[in-house]
């Protein structure tokens, strides 16, 4: 893995942009507050990296047997991430949805396995930020560790937004600026994967 800073930017951008996890955290925080939401956020913070480990380690044998598969997945993942960046940059400001109670720790861990954004991020990150020339376990462990380190702070941000949503990112202009900056960070995080 050549670019841990790019990976960190990728992890922050994908963790901070609106998706099922962030929206559920924000909505639940508005309803139950930060303290009761902590188990849910820890479930996401540890559940997604665990999912990434399983996916990443499961790809080691196919990458060794078919080295071209790594490049194919990198290209497909990059294309999807560019599409995601476009969707994020052009997304309208988030509307208000019904508040939900938090899932709890194990509910949030289990939710990662049915979260399409989590699947796509994991499937894009593994080929983009690993090399088939090096052993996969240390690379995938680093991926998981960086995502774990970046996920909790971004979830706290969304929880705080949920608690004080009326003041933070309340105007369409603020929401669009946030979305545009996250989309740009996502696109820039792909550059080192192709150099």
Query: Do 74 and 127 touch, CB atoms closer than 8 A?
Result: yes
Backbone CA torsion sign across 150, 101, 87, 178 = negative
Q: Note the pLDDT of residue 171.
A: 72
Asked if residues 6 and 189 have their Cβ atoms less than 8 Å apart, the reply is yes
| Cβ atoms of 59 and 126 closer than 8 Å | yes
CA gap 129, 189 in Å, rounded: 10
Structure tokens that stand for 43 in this block: 């479930």
Which residue ranges make up each domain of the chain? 4-194
CB 84, CB 120: distance < 8 Å: yes
Residue 70, both tokens: 């790594």
The C-alpha atoms of residue 13 and residue 96 are separated, in whole angstroms, by 22
Cβ partners under 8 Å of residue 32, min gap 6: 101, 102
Q: Write out the chain's pLDDT in tens, 195 residues.
A: 456 788 888 899 888 887 778 877 877 776 777 888 999 999 999 999 999 998 888 876 787 788 787 778 777 767 776 776 787 677 666 554 444 467 889 989 988 887 778 888 888 888 888 888 888 899 999 999 999 999 999 999 989 887 776 556 667 787 677 667 767 766 776 676 566
């Amino acid at each position: 893995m050549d670019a841990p800073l790019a990976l960190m930017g990728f992890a922050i951008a994908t963790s901070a942009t609106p998706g099922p996890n962030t929206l559920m955290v924000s909505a639940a925080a508005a309803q139950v507050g930060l303290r009761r939401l902590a188990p849910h956020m820890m479930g996401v913070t540890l559940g997604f990296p665990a999912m990434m480990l399983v996916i990443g380690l499961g790809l080691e044998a196919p990458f060794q047997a078919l080295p071209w598969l790594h490049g194919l997945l990198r290209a497909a993942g990059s294309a999807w991430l560019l599409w995601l960046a476009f969707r994020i940059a052009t997304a309208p400001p988030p509307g208000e949805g019904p508040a939900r109670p938090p899932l709890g720790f194990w509910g949030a861990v289990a939710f990662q396995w049915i979260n399409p954004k989590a699947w796509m991020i994991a499937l894009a990150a593994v080929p983009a930020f690993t090399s088939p020339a090096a052993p996969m376990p240390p690379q995938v462990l680093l991926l998981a560790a960086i995502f774990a380190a970046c996920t909790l702070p971004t979830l706290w941000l969304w929880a705080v937004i949920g608690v004080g949503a009326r003041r933070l990112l309340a105007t369409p202009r603020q929401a669009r600026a946030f979305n545009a900056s996250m989309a740009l960070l996502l696109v820039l995080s792909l550059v080192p994967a192709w150099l």
